[in-house]
Structure formats: structure tokens, C-alpha cells
Structure 1
């Protein structure tokens, strides 16, 4: 299936990804990982919630940890351009037959909860409480020095279907992997904010969340994090990397939090602001597609993911496989 032409005038205007809500079994263990080790900042917490932001962010949170009996994902959230876009989004999703509801969320204005073409829970909002800037409070920089949330990557049972759906609401493809034998998409990277991706899709049992990524200042910050994790009891949580992707050109490290939620630490991709930018095509069997240099990805990277609460994932019927480390 060919990549659809960019939809430059979608029915409502999402400007970027915003935050993720994780269900975690042990908030104290999660806090030690995200705050003490990675360096995210706590903006509020109680017995069952921890709100976090990264160093360059002015919004109240980019991650919410919710105490839960199960390790899961409650929602992926996106910010829209203004208040009126929420009403247009409500009307569009309702017309497409998706469940829509207004929900109350701490530190946010009106928030629309709905679902995508696979039933994956997504939330849209315009207003979030603003906090004073801390990007020049260098005494607060800890761990990997996370600057901002960058993207989500999700497993999808049908990547062509995912690209078509999100193209309708304005997500533009920057790079993609095509199976040469069938012509079907195995993976695709799509954006709203002008980077390589806000939301990517990988073929597999889905919907599930493959990873959430944070942007950091330099590759050296990633190396420092490896040293820190290796000497503070987290060496087994390093799943893949460091290395550099062929797709996106990003320097990366993949790690697992105490609940198994995968986090990518990420820097050095490129701008994709031009509306007529042509997507880059990759062959599934190109060894430099996923890893320009570095060790190939382990099997867990292709098979393990975080489930969405109350959503049953479906297997893909695509038999093509990428290169997997032995």
C-alpha cells in the first residue's frame, strides 16, 4: 500500500504529543527509577499518583504514574492548537463511530478521551497548568538530564491501517519500512511537531505501547546513564544500545522501568518541518535500517510491549520479519 499524501488541512489540529499515563505496581520503585536515576522532576505526588516533567517543559507533566495492581498504559495524550479544536475533534471522532467523552484530569482543562482505529485510548486537551521554567536551573539536572518527551512508538496489527487513520488527522509520514514481497508497511514514523516522529508504529501484536522516548542533550548523557545504571542496580534494565538508528539517525538507548515499560533515551534526529518533505523508504532486510551501527536488537525488543488497560491486543497476519539478534 503506498504512503498516503500528507493531509495538510485535517479536521482538527494536534500540535504535538504531550504525556503518557502508566499504571505501576510500586510507585516508590518507579519514583526511584524515573526521578533518582533518569532525572525527571516531580511536580506533584500523593499515595497513588506521581506527576513528572522534564527540564525544558513548561506544562505541569509529561508522565503520570498511577498506582495499579497491573502494569499497564492508561492513555497517550496530545495537545491541540486551541480550545475550539477540542469540539472539532469530538465531532470528528463521534462521526467516525468512536467512543467520545469529556473527562476530568488533574492540572488540565477540558480533556477529550477517545480511541483510535484499534481501540487504543488517546486523550486530547488544550490547556495544562504552566510551571515556571527550570531549564537554566542546572543544579536540578540529574541522571540522563532529560529535556522533553519526544515520541511514542506503538505495536500495530496493521501498520497500513494505522498510517491511514492518523493521516486523516494530520500526522505526516517521515520514514517507513516496506516489505518488498507484499508491498505492505512493516513500520512507519509520523509527526505533528516537526521532528521525525510524535507517533510511530511497528508491526506486531497490538495495540500495545512499544516505548516512550525522551530527548536528552548529547550522546554523552546516554553513556553517563549507562555507567549510572550499571552501578546502581539497574544494569539488567538496559535492553538495547547504545547505538545509532538508520531510521531517524538518532543516537539511542532502550531501558526498562520496574514494571517493564520500555523507555528510549534519544537525541540527534532531524527536522521535518516542510509540508512537502518526501518520506524516506527503507527495506525491511536492510541491516542498517534499525541499527546504523551497534548490536542488532534482541528478540524482546520485537515482542515485548506494554498493554493498554482494558484493551485486548490482536495478532498481525504479516509474516515478514526483520533482522533479530541471536
Structure 2
């Protein structure tokens, strides 16, 4: 399936990804991972919930940790340009026979929940409470020094269908992996904010959340995090990397939180703001696709992910396989 032409005037205007809620089974242990080790900042806290932001973010939260019996991912949050865009977004999803539920969210203006055609839970809002800037309060920087949430990656049972749907609401493809035998998409990277991606899709059993990524200042911050994790009891939570992706050119590290939610630490990708920027094509069997240096990813990276709450999982319609580390 060819990459669809970008929709430059979508039915409503999404600014960027915003936040994600993760259900965790031990809030204290998750706090030790996300706050004490990664260095995210606590903005509010209750006995069963922690709200966090990264160092450059002015919005109240980019990740919500909520304690529960079973570790799952809940809504992927997106910010729209205005209250008018929020109403247009609700109308769009209703017109596609997708659910629209208006909900109360602390520190957010009017918010509705919905799902995409494959069942990924989504949340849209226009305004979030602003907090004072802390990006120059260097005494607060610790861990990997996360600056901002960067993107989500989701397993999709049909990447062509996922790209077609999100293209309709203004997500533009920057890079993609094509299976040469079938001509179908195996993976695609799509953006709203002008980086390589806000939302990517990887072929696999899904929908499931593959990972949430945070942008950091330099590759050296990733090396510092590895040293910290290796000497504070987190060495077994290091899954893949460090390395440099062929796709996106970003320097990366994949780690797992105490409940196996996957987190990517990420920096050094490129700007994609031009509306006529042509997407970059990669062959599924190109060893430099996954890692510019040629190292393949482990099997866990292709098979494991976080379940979305209340979403049925289906097998992928494309059987093509990438190169997998032995």
C-alpha cells in the first residue's frame, strides 16, 4: 500500500502528544524508578497516583502512574489547538462510529476519551494547567535528565490501516518500513509536532503499547543512566542499547519499568516541519534499519508490550519478519 498523501488541513488540529497513564502494581517501586532513577519531577501525589513532568515541560503532567492490581496502559493523551478543535475532534470520532465519552481529568480542561478503529484508547483536551518553568533549576536535574515526552510506539495488527486513519487526522509519515514481497507497511513513524514522530506503529499482535519515549539532552546522559542503573539494582531492566537507530538517526536506550512497561530514552533525531517533506523508505531486511551500526534487536523487543485496558488483541495480518538477534 503506498503512503497516503498528507492531509495538511485536517478536520481538527492536534498540536502534539501530551501524556500517558500507566497502571502499576507497586507505586513505591515505580516512584523509585521514574523519579529517583530517571529523574522525572513529581507535580502531585496521592496514596494511589503520582503525576510527573519532565524538565522542559510547563504542562502539569506527561505521565500518570496509578496503582492497580494489573499492569496495563490506559489512554494516550493528545493536546488540540483550541476548544473549537476539541468539539470538531469529538464530532469526527462520532461520525466514524467511534465512542466519545466526556470525562473529568484533574488539571485538564474539557476532555473526552475515545478509541481508534483498532481499539487504542485515546484522550483529547485543549488546555492543561501550567506550572512555573524549572528548566533552569539545575539543582533538580538528576538521573537521565529527561527534558520532555517525545513519542509513543504501538503494536498494530495492520499498519497500513493505522497509517491511513491517523493520516486522515493530520499525522504525517516521516519514515516507513515496507515489506518488499507484499508491498505492505511493516512499520511507520508519524508526527504532528515537527520531530520524527509523535506516534509510530510496529507490526505485531495488537493493539498494544510498545513504548513511551523521553527526550534527553545528549547521548552522554544515556551513558550516565546506564552506569546508575547498573549500580543501583536496575541492571536487569536494561533491554536494548545504547545505539543509534537507522530510522530517525536517534541515539536510544530501551529499558523496562518494574511492571515491564517499556521506556525509550531518546535524543538527536531531526526536524520534520516542512509540509512537503518526503518520507524515507526502509527495507524490512536492511540491518541498518533498526540500528545504524547493524546490531539487531532482541526478540522481546518485537514480541512484548503493554496491554491496553479493555482492548482485545488480534494477530497481525502481515506475517513478514524482521532480523532478530540470536
TM-score (norm 1): 0.99
| Kept in 2: contact 1:113–1:122 (CA 8 A) | yes
CA RMSD of aligned residues (A): 0.6
Structure 2 unaligned blocks of 5 or more: none
1:276 deviates by: 0.2
Q: Residue by residue, what CA displacement relative to the aligned partner does 1:160-212 show, whole Å, maximum 9, x if unpaired? A: 00000000000000000000000000000000000000000000001000000
Q: Which residue of 1 aligns with 2:76?
A: 76
Match of 1:199? Answer: 199
For residue 108 of structure 2, what is the aligned residue in structure 1?
A: 108
Residue of structure 2 in register with 1:150 after alignment: 150
| Alpha-carbon distance between aligned partners in 1 of 2:122 and 2:286, rounded to the nearest angstrom | 33
Aligned to 2:219: 219
Give the corresponding residue for 1:289. Answer: 289
Alignment of 1:16-165 (within 5 A): 16-165=16-165
User: C-alpha distance in 1, partners of 2:74/2:15?
Assistant: 21
Partner of 1:168: 168
Whole-angstrom CA distance in 2 between matches of 1:36 and 1:248: 29
Q: Deviations over 1:54-85 (max 9, x none)?
A: 00000000000011100001110000001111
Contact 1:244 1:294 in 2 (8 A): no
Identify the residue that residue 258 of structure 2 maps to in structure 1: 258
SS state of the match for residue 253, structure 1? strand
Conserved? CA contact 1:15–1:79, under 8 Å: yes
Does 1:308 find its partner at 2:308?
Answer: yes
Would the aligned equivalents of 2:174 and 2:191 in 1 still touch at CA under 8 Å? yes
CA drift at 1:112? 1.2
Partners of 1:6 and 1:255 in 2: CA distance: 33
- Structure 1 outlier segments of 4+, above 6 Å: none
For 1:68 and 1:310, the matched residues in 2 are separated by 14
Q: CA deviation at 1:317?
A: 2.4
Deviations 1:259-278 (A, max 9, x none): 10000000000000000000
Tell me which residue corresponds to 1:233: 233
- Asked if the contact 1:208–1:305 (Cα under 8 Å) also holds between the matched residues in 2, the reply is yes
The C-alpha deviation readout for 1:120-172, integer Å capped at 9, x for no partner, is 10000011010000000000000000000000000000000000000000000
CA deviation after TM superposition for structure 1 residue 117, in Å: 1.2
Deviation track 1:223-277 (CA, whole Å, cap 9, x = no partner) reads: 0000000000000000000000000000000000001000000000000000000
Q: Equivalent residue for 1:180? A: 180
Distance in 1 of aligned mates of 2:261 and 2:120:
16
**Distance (whole Å) between structure 1 residues aligned to residue 21 and residue 314 of structure 2:** 22
Q: Secondary structure at the match of 1:248?
A: coil
Q: Distance in 2 between matches of 1:84 and 1:37?
A: 40
Q: Secondary structure at the match of 2:166?
A: helix
Measured in 2, the distance between the counterparts of 1:50 and 1:16 equals 22
Residue 294 (structure 1) shift: 6.0
More divergent stretch after superposition (294-303 vs 251-260): 294-303
Q: CA deviation at 1:295?
A: 3.3
Are the aligned partners of 1:23 and 1:68 in contact in 2 as well (CA < 8 Å)?
A: yes
**Distance (whole Å) between structure 2 residues aligned to residue 318 and residue 6 of structure 1:** 24
TM-score between the two structures when normalised by the length of structure 2: 0.99
- Name stretches of at least 5 consecutive residues in structure 1 with no aligned partner: none
Alpha-carbon distance in 1 for matches of 2:257, 2:263: 7
